[in-house]
Amino acid sequence: MRLWESARDAVPPDRLFVAGAGCESTRATVRLCRAAAEAGADAVLVQPPAFYRAAMSDPVIAAHYRAVADASPVPVIVYQVPLRFSTLEFATGLVETLARHPNIVGIKDSRGSLELVAELVARTPDDFQVLVGSGAAFYGALEAGAVGGILGVANLMPGECARIHAAFRDGDSAEAGRIQERVGPLHNAVVGGLGVPGVKAALDRLGLRGGDPRPPLPALDERGTLAVERALAEAGLGG
């Protein structure tokens, strides 16, 4: 909760603050959504319960998200976690159903498939926000109809990620593509390739505060650290 409060203090009032609030039970998720709202979150990003994966049918997941959205004081964004993690994959029809709830306003899709992004855009209402999580596919996702992204690589190249969006919005596809060519490889090498330990190590090397990941995730070994330094250099970062 203190982290949320600190984040709210750091985020300018004219920018949205989205808090992660997914848990394994509906009741705990609702409790976390309410706490996030009290801490100043403008919306919550809710990942699906996946421990009892075999029991998580589409109707069960739909009922969970409806109950959360009914109780949440702030809008809910569904989180399609990357499939390499312990999670569920949302069928497009399920997302289409969830999009009808007035307090479920979007999805963050981190699968990295432009075809699936286009499918989500085509089958959900115009005011349902399709966002992506893959920095490697950001420009392509915008071309496919996504409205934006919540990108891990934006921790390392925030200005560049914002400029991809701005260039796309302004119709400058050449500029958007040029920047994407720098952002994509960094995402693949650090965010996709090394995960949280890689992002934290990269932040340290950019003069920010990454620190060690929380156990049981290990800090990078020497080989991983060298890979981060190489990726930053190839992206034109890190001096």
Mean pLDDT (the chain, rounded)? 97
108 is catalytic: yes
| 164: in domain | no
Last residue of a domain, which of 150, 183, 211?
150
Integer CA distances (angstroms), 167 to 35, 181, 223, in order: 36, 14, 36
Among candidate residues 108, 111, 165, 187, the one labeled active-site is 108
| 84: in domain | yes
Distance CA 227, CA 230 (A): 5
Q: What is the pLDDT of residues 200-220, one digit of tens each?
A: 999 999 999 999 999 999 999
Q: Looking at the 3D structure of the chain, how many domains does it have?
A: 2
Range of the domain at 226: 172-239
**Same domain as 117, residue 177:** no
Integer CA distances (angstroms), 21 to 46, 72, 224, 238, in order: 5, 10, 30, 33
| 40: in domain | yes
**Same domain as 144, residue 106:** yes
| 157: in domain | no
**Same domain as 89, residue 25:** yes
**Same domain as 192, residue 137:** no
Closest CA to 77 of 29, 123, 137: 29
| 160: in domain | no
Distance CA 148, CA 35 (A): 26
pLDDT higher than 90, residue 36: yes
pLDDT higher than 80, residue 183: yes
Q: What is the pLDDT of residues 23-33, one digit of tens each?
A: 999 999 999 99
